[in-house]
Amino acid sequence: MAIRKGISLRNFEQEHIVLALAVVLFAAASVTLRGFFVADNLIAKDKAAELTPFAYSSKGSLASLGMSKAVAEVYGIKLSGFLAWLLWRGFYLSFLPGFATKVRVLVFAKVALPEQIARSLECATGAPALKIVRVRSDNQTPFSYTTCYLPEPEADLISEESLGNRTVIATLAAAGVAAATAEQRLSATVAGVEVAKFLKLEVGAPQISMTRVVRNEDGRPVELIQALYRPDKYEYRVNLSRDNGGEAPRWTVKM
């Protein structure tokens, strides 16, 4: 595109600005789709099936001009200024890992508590409880496989609809159950067949294992959660302070 000497962005047509500044966005979206296209055609070629020609249709373009201003054209609608900048910023933030997550529910059912789980929840073996198994993913890959047990009466306070994308403890809080304390244990383990399938890992791959028992204000366990994390997608961080009192100085958790 040739731009005449002395021309300014202020009097340059908006659609030309969009076209000139959004080349990278077009290229990135096109390359992403071509990746899927190549994969599908490689599979088709391996099966001696008909190959599919590549076609790309853009949903629009966005470009930041700086100073909280941008231009955009999305599904034929043209925007400019601060509103377009908000749209541009929101679009790219949505691609940051961890910015948003989605949940897949594998199990949501009443079960009889196994002995070890019942012991942790201070319930009788075989007592009724709600079991929730979910896989949580960011916009790239699944990163956690969680199994949660809720004893009664907490088991009756949650429905699959009220839980949605929230954590179980947040849903309990919304139902009036206040969490007061928790005991949490971290360890390392390896991925079994089922977990490896859902977290897209090799069987036997290393994982971070977390078990947490949450108690209410009366000290009664209201939730037990067992979580398995991909080690490349999970980080556990603790703030420590140096306690120099006594004969043996030590690190303690900073409250």
| Distance, CA of 10 to CA of 61 (rounded, Å) | 19
pLDDT for 1 equals 38
The more confidently predicted of residues 222 and 239 is: 222
Summarised one tens digit per residue, pLDDT across range 40-85 is 777 777 778 887 776 656 566 777 777 667 787 766 677 777 767 7
Amino acid at 103: V
Query: What mean pLDDT is reported for the chain?
Result: 78
Model confidence, pTM: 0.59
Q: Are 154 and 168 in contact (CB under 8 A)?
A: no
Residue 254 scores a pLDDT above 80: no
The least confident of 31-35, 112-116, 231-235 is 31-35
47-to-33, 36, 40, 43 alpha-carbon distances in Å = 21, 17, 11, 6
Strand partners, 111: 129
The least confident of 34-38, 222-226, 227-231, 249-253 is 34-38
Summarised one tens digit per residue, pLDDT across range 188-234 is 999 999 999 999 999 999 999 999 999 998 999 999 999 999 988 88
pLDDT for 220 equals 94
Strand partners, 224: 149, 213
- Domains along the chain? 9-93 (no CATH), 102-229 (3.40.1410.10)
Residue in 183, 178, 236, 168 with CA at minimum distance from that of residue 214: 183
User: Which contiguous run of DSSP H or E holds residue 92?
Assistant: helix 82-93
| Distance, CA of 105 to CA of 144 (rounded, Å) | 12
Summarised one tens digit per residue, pLDDT across range 148-182 is 999 999 999 999 999 988 889 889 888 888 888 88
Strand partners, 72: 62, 79
Banded pLDDT at 140 (limits 50, 70, 90): confident
Dihedral sign computed on CA atoms, order 244, 247, 251, 255:
negative
